[in-house]
Structure formats: C-alpha cells, structure tokens
Amino acid sequence: MLDGETLKALYEKHCKHGFKYSYGTAGFRYKADILDTVMFTTGVLAGLRSLHLSGQTVGVMITASHNPPEDNGVKIVEPRGEMLEQSWEKHATQLANCASESYASFATNLEELVKTLKIDTNRSGGIAVARDSRESGPRLLEAFEAGVQAFPTLRIRDYGILTTPQLHFLTSKTNEFPQNVEKDEKLYYNEFLSAWDEITTISGIEALPFELKIDAANGIGGPKISAMLSQRQVFKNAYEVSNADWQNYAALNYCCGADFVKTNQKLPHGIAVGETFNARRINCSFDGDADRIVFYYNDPQGQFKLLDGDKMATLFAKFFQQLLRSSGLQKDVEMGVVQTAYANGSSANYLEQVLGVSVKCTSTGVKHLHHEAVKFDIGIYFEANGHGTVVFSSKFVELLNSKLATDSQSSPESYNSLKLLSVFTRLINQTVGDALSDMLAVLAVLLVLQWTPQKWDEEYTDLPNRLIKVVVPDRTLFKTTNAERQLESPANLQQEIDALVSKYDNARSFVRASGTEDAVRVYAEAASREQADELAAMVGKLVENC
C-alpha cells in the first residue's frame, strides 16, 4: 500500500467533505458534481476486493443507467460478473463517508478494513473499468484510478466506453479464460452472435421476418448494437437505430429510452409506430447504458402496446417449458420465475395458473432477483422495467451435455429441443440484464415459435397500471416490508393507501423509496386505465403530504 503522504496527496486532490453516501441497489448514484470522493474510495475498495479474492479481477462500471445526464454513479462487479457481495456494501458506504469527513478518518477506516479482512496488500490483483457516455465520465474515472493507486500492485484495464453488460461480461471472461485469450468487445460480439447463428441453423431461419426499430436512448447502446448486427447478413436492411446520438450529452435518456417508455407508456421521441397495422413490425428501447430493454408495437386499432419485463419473463417461461416437454426433461428440471412488487398481477396469475410455473417475489434490484433465480435449474428474472436475464445451473448444463451425447438417435423434435436449450444458455448473458443479448434472445424465441408481437402480447392481458415518481425531502423515511409491498413508515401511511385501494376494482398500490434517485416511486394497478391513473395520483398526493 502507498505510504501515507502519497496517499494523502491523492486524497486531497480528489476528495471533498460534507456529503453522506449510501451504496444503493445499483451502487452509488448521485449528481455527478458530488461523486469525486466516492469515486476515489470506490477505487480503493475495488482494490481491496480484488486482493481479498486472491487477486481475481474485479469490475467497476461508471454509469447512471436511465438517470438524467447530470447524474452519474459507480458500481463494483464481482469476478463472475455478478453484483458486489452484499456484505461488502457496508464497507463501501463506510469508507466513502469516512473520506467525506477527513483524511484521518479515511486512513483509520482503511487500516481497520485491511486488518479486519486480513488482506495482503503486497499481492497482485486486477481491475477492469469502463464508463457510459456521460460528460462527467472522464473526470470521475480519474478520481477512481487515483483510488486504485493506493495499491501499486494492482493492474487496471480501462475499456473506455462500454455498455454496462459488456463490462460485466468481460470481467467474467477475464477470470474464466487463460491469459493468452484477448478479452475485448470482439469476444463479446462473437459469444452471442455465434449462438444466434446456431439457433438460425437449427430452426432453418434465413431472414429476419421483422421490421425492427431500436431506440438507443442516445446512449452507448446505439453504436454497440450497430457494431453487433452489422456483422450478420440476416439483419441487413432489417433494423433501424433511432436516438443514437450518444455524443450529445444532453440528449441521453431525454424523452426516450426504456425507462421513459415504461413509465409514460407511450412512444419515445424518434420512433413513430404509424397508423397502419404491421404484424411484423416490432420496436424496442434500451436505457442509457443498455442493461434494460422493453418492446412495443401498435395493434390493429393503432394503439400503443407495451411488452415489458413481465412479458419477457412469461415469454421465456412458456418457451423453455415447451422445450423441456419436447425434450423429455420436464420432470428433471426445476424452472422458476422471480419478480418484484412492480410485476403486473396478471403476469403472476398467468405463470402460476396457466403455465404452472413457480413464482417468487423479492425486493427491487437485480441483486435480489439474481440471488433467488440461481436456486432454480432455469431461473428467469426480469423487473417490469425490462432489466433481467435467465440463469442456468451447472447441473442443468451438465444434464444437457449428457443428453446431447447419448440421445442423438432420439426423435428429431426431441434432439432439436435439446440443442436449442443448450444454445440458449450461450445466447443469454447470464451475468446481468443485457439489452443487446436479451433483444437477440426475444427475437430468437419469436422466430422459433413463429409468433408475431401481437401473438406474444395476447397470451395474457395486463391489468392497467401506472408508475409515478414523487420528489420528497427525505426518501429514507419510506421503509418497507414484505418484499417492498407494504410500508412500515411513515406511520399510518399504509393504512391510508389500503383505504384508497379498497375503493377500486381489482386494485393494488405500493410505495417505495427509489434506490437510484432522490424520489419515491408509486405504483398502482386496477381494472381500468382511469382507475389505475386516479389511484396512482391519489396515493402520490398522500406521499407528497407526508
């Protein structure tokens, strides 16, 4: 570790005093102008994490995802591409807040962490870092790298501007592959495009029967999806990327992107569905760092129809259930879907009552969903906002490999189902929700099933719902229980919400503090659009008056 004087000089250059930080559902996320201190301490903590894990490479992503351009944030990625071990979140928060007090407090806390965690600071280790396209990124990267310098034995691989899922993927591959394999974007594209190629070969698909429109939220997902799809002839002249002005900092997520479409339930700027019904037209929106995706289309009456994370979860559940049955594995494989309180009530009913699939509910945040999903052989998790993925257990992959090796003489349908299951374990980015990978997976499912977007949507009908954001002086006052479906505080607010809900048909509503913004989110659903909108507005008023 650096000597005290050198470390103090770095601290004084990058750290400011007087702000209290908290590691949230997606790391630290605030206005960019108050992030220098936490970027510096995150560099220190990421170094500690790598050294604690015997020198494995730890990932760090500088991003604020769907937040407005003036925000930014940072999160630490585990060696296998997963979110930071939850027990370390308190270390990240404490180190940042000590640094916000004084150098003496920071230095003391750092020394105690090294001692308590029994970290050998002379060990070598690695950090993989990337950032999204925000204007504040280069400055915050400099503060982060200064923090990493606390441990001279650490090497840093700066990937520049990437999507968040690309950073997760490359962190995982850095620890998985031998040193002579180059870990870069080419590896990422090859991984998922080669799986796509196998699916099209197995299914006899020669052309994309969709007119695909992609809203890239003016984020880095725009050039990355173009770089990916341009490598395959099947996509030539079959897709168009809108809102791809990623170098216009002020345009990021402005009136576009997955969060805008989901929250407002309307088209983003830059995409016009058109007045004429087109059964083969499908649209999708990424968010600013391309870890979320939602789909949408226009129905025969020209109405906007949203296909969100719930619709994706149910699509994958039905598809994999069919493949398990046709391959004869349905009795050997446990599949489940993990949702949050934001999941539409109709989706849970469809999964449990129509498909007979197990459904679990967790707190908001993919770290919570991922933890539950890995308990299944096939664990499907998507937040309603479009952030999610599918994870496959090692037991399931071994079973597939064994069956493929011994069942080559079985029926063509059964064998093809086994092959498709195997390929989907590689088409889907299992480390984290990935707009690019999820988009390919959804398209592949629709192609294999020969479904139109309308057929997909008609599997079940969403209850009308509304999600609104209410700015409050102190979001920490809003504490929840029962997987965030009920409030513990402020006192009596839950009873007031329950009284409002009882006045509407087939209704429910809940309130929770945002994990990424200084606001409280209010969700409501009811039997009609008018009732859902009215209930959300009235609950929002209760929150404002707290």
Q: Is 513 annotated among the ligand-binding residues?
A: yes
Q: How do residues 61-90 score in pLDDT, each as one tens digit? A: 999 999 999 999 999 999 999 999 999 999
Q: How far apart are CA 543 and CA 546, in angstroms?
A: 5
Residue 512 assigned ligand-binding role? yes
Q: Which residues are catalytic?
A: 65
Q: What is the pLDDT of residue 274?
A: 60
Backbone angles phi, psi at 276, to 5 degrees: -95, 130
Beta strands in 210-271 (DSSP E): 211-215, 239-242
Q: Is 383 annotated as a binding residue?
A: yes
Residue 218 has what DSSP assignment? Answer: T
Q: Is 343 annotated as a binding residue?
A: no
411 in a labelled binding site:
no
Sheet holding 335-339, edge to edge: 358-361, 335-339, 378-382, 388-392
Q: Does 219 show up as a binding residue in the annotation? A: no
Helix or strand run (H / E) with residue 181: none
Q: What single string gives the DSSP state of each residue in 289-334?
A: TSS-EEEEEE-TT--EEEE-HHHHHHHHHHHHHHHHHHHT-TTT--
| Closest alpha carbon to 382 in 392, 374, 390 | 390
Q: How does pLDDT run across 428-446, given as a tens digit for each residue? A: 999 999 999 999 999 999 9
Q: Could you give all domains of the chain from N- to C-terminal order, each with its CATH number? A: 4-177 (3.40.120.10), 187-307 (3.40.120), 310-457 (3.40.120), 465-544 (3.30.310.50)
pLDDT of residue 276: 56
Residue 304's DSSP bridge partners are: 298
pLDDT score recorded for residue 409: 67
The answer to whether 476 is a known ligand-binding residue is no
Which class for 116: exposed (0-12), middle (13-18), buried (19 or more C-beta within 10 A)?
exposed
514 in a known ligand binding site:
yes
List the chain residues with pLDDT less than 50: none
Q: Which residues pair with 358 in a beta bridge?
A: 336
Distance of alpha carbon 78 from alpha carbon 27, whole angstroms: 13
The tokens describing 188, both together, are: 């990422």
For residues 383 and 377, what is the distance between their CA atoms, to the nearest angstrom? 20
